[in-house]
Amino acid sequence: MTRTAAVTGAASGIGQAACRRLLEAGWTVFGLDNARDRLNAVAGGFSAYQGRFKPILCDVTDAARVTAAFQEIAAVSPVLNALVTCAGVLRTSLMEDMPIEDFDLVLNVNTRGTFLAAQKALPALRAGATPENPSRVVLLSSVAALRPKIVSGAYAASKAAVSQLCRVMAAEWAPSGVLVNALAPGTVDTPMVAAVSDPSASKGYRPSGVSPVGRIAQPDDVVDVMMFLLSDAARYVTGTTIPVDGGTQAAFIPPGSNL
């Protein structure tokens, strides 16, 4: 039986890779994003999947629009087996200089948008849940939730909040068959990171550099763990934030170490 997922932030990076992998595995995917042109381009690239990718223009900070988007989805598919929330933004600045609009945007998209998508998807997730196959929610947190970094304080706060929401949603929703987990990637090679890696535009932001594993992540490194969380093997896993960071936050490596 075809399974159905909704993915926010579907038009780029980790969300786009998540959609591709789900389509390859036979899922029907509703891809939500607020970037109209990129979403249309991504949908064009998925045209080989026989109409199983359904783009939905949606700003996750707009409560009315998120409600309407999940009503549109329910009209086509009353049952959702999974929600993956990848919509996110990164704005960098020292706290003392951070524009309030940037602070509000980061919290609104990353935290409030994640909450809204999960709350509005819940009825369809519950409708899709069975004792043998609970529905799944995978939230994109970040290594920043576990080990914050200077110049991205608002981002770290927004992702720490996502990980806490994950724990509470997991406990509240497990009895109705909905499992909720979060992923905490380290640096991933996506347009989000490229946008702040240019020193002239970065407001002092510095990438974390390679992980102890010796490289930064590719989107599929993260999506592999997402696919595990959506699989039967993860049927008893809920309320966790799983680092997918090549050991980035496992231990402090003093400057000048010969590693």
Ligand X SMILES: NC(=O)c1ccc[n+]([C@@H]2O[C@H](COP(=O)([O-])OP(=O)(O)OC[C@H]3O[C@@H](n4cnc5c(N)ncnc54)[C@H](O)[C@@H]3O)[C@@H](O)[C@H]2O)c1
CA 26 to CA 4: how far, in whole Å?
A: 9
Among the residue ranges 29-37, 74-82, 172-180, 250-258, the one whose residues contact ligand X (CB under 6 A): 29-37
Identify which of residues 35 and 74 has a Cβ nearer to ligand X in the complex: 35
Tokens of 241: 């934030």
Nearest approach, Cβ of 139 to ligand X (angstroms)? 8
The one-letter code for the residue type at 16 is Q
Instruction: For residues 116 and 182, give the distance between their C-alpha atoms in angstroms, rounded to a whole number.
Output: 16
**CB of 258: closest distance to ligand X in angstroms?**
26
Supply the minimum distance, in Å, between the C-beta of residue 1 and ligand X. Answer: 29
- Per CB under 6 A, does 87 bind ligand X? yes
Active site residue 205: no
Q: Please tell me whether residue 55 binds ligand X under the rule CB under 6 A.
A: no
Q: Per the structure block, which two tokens stand in for 219? A: 């989107």
Question: Taking CB under 6 A as the rule, does residue 241 contact ligand X?
Answer: no
Q: Is 142 in the site for ligand X (CB under 6 A)?
A: yes
- What is the closest distance, in whole angstroms, from the C-beta atom of residue 199 to ligand X in the complex? 17
SS3 content of the chain, % helix, strand, coil (to 5): 50, 15, 35
166 three-class SS: helix
Residue 199: what residue type? P
Q: What is the dihedral of CA 114, 116, 121, 123, to 10 degrees?
A: 140
Q: Does 140 bind ligand X (CB under 6 A)?
A: yes
Binding site for ligand X (CB under 6 A): 8-9, 11-15, 33-35, 58-61, 86-89, 109, 113, 140, 142, 185, 187-188, 190-193
